[in-house]
Chains A and B, each alone.
Chain A
């Protein structure tokens, strides 16, 4: 009976793998085709803690869906922004960029969202990594920042400092 079950499992394994591969592909494709509503600065009186809690839930769902597909912070920020703006909450996407030492044409970065310059997830230390304001795309509500050149390996080492862990996400 056990042997029979084992054979069945081996028979279905490629099908299961194919199913999860297609599912992940469709989820990522769906996330990328999500329309980002325009950024409108509106007066609002939301409780920031409520927004943070909603953001945590969105992240939990997204982390399960996209797992370690790379650029997690960008997908997370993009989807959360898309949802919040549909709900009328004018959140901003911030994109931090930095060159990597010894690597031409290669940049590291991080993405995070803010509401009225208040952080929903990442701590303020992230601004130390990307301290210089580069420009703002007002129509999309995307704020670009830039940091000093960094060593890629330093950014990838697991450090107790949260700011380095945030940078690993990208």
Chain B
């Protein structure tokens, strides 16, 4: 799709050594191997759930965020791409085989 970063066209899944839980609307993700603990805000949590759920579509999520928060589409795309890269480098998610 034109204008869509390549990272958003891939399919992702959480890595096996990661566990997560909802606490008061915030998502807490724990890397059991590194013993590192991450907290995601509302949008981050939504994105995580989209990735953890098999029937997800990141592009739909982008549209939802643009609609809800009235932000430029390109800004949302850049932010999500950045977030995906961060999660991959933290080994929280991986590209589906």
Instruction: Say which residue of A137, A142, A146 sits within 8 Å of B21 (CB atoms).
Output: A146
B19 touches A134 (CB 8 A): yes
- Interface flag for A23 (CB, 8 Å): no
Measured CA separation A97–B32 after assembly (Å): 13
Which A-chain residue is minimally distant from B24 (CB atoms)?
A148
B19 touches A135 (CB 8 A): yes
Which A-chain residue is minimally distant from B25 (CB atoms)?
A149
Given known contacts A99-B39, A107-B37, A135-B19, A149 and B28 CB-to-CB distance under 8 angstroms: no
Measured CA separation A149–B24 after assembly (Å): 8
Instruction: Say which residue of B23, B26, B32 sits within 8 Å of A135 (CB atoms).
Output: B32
Q: Tell me which residues across on chain B come within 8 A of A146, comparing CB atoms.
A: 21, 23, 28, 30, 37
B23 touches A148 (CB 8 A): yes
Tell me the minimal C-beta distance from B78 to chain A in angstroms.
Answer: 21
Given known contacts A134-B19, A135-B19, A146-B21, A99 and B26 CB-to-CB distance under 8 angstroms: yes
- Interface flag for B2 (CB, 8 Å): no
- Interface flag for A12 (CB, 8 Å): no
Measured CA separation A97–B38 after assembly (Å): 10
- Interface flag for A132 (CB, 8 Å): yes
Q: Which residues of A (83-108) have their CB < 8 Å from a CB of B?
A: 95, 97, 99, 107
A149 touches B26 (CB 8 A): yes
Q: Tell me which residues across on chain B come within 8 A of A147, comparing CB atoms.
A: 23
Given known contacts A97-B37, A107-B37, A142-B35, A134 and B28 CB-to-CB distance under 8 angstroms: yes
Which A-chain residue is minimally distant from B41 (CB atoms)?
A104
Task: Return the CB mask of A144-162 against B: 1 if under 8 Å, else 0.
Answer: 1011110000000000000
Ordered by A's residue number, 10 sampled pairs between the chains whose C-beta atoms are within 8 Å are A99-B39, A107-B37, A132-B21, A135-B32, A142-B35, A144-B30, A144-B37, A146-B30, A148-B24, A149-B24
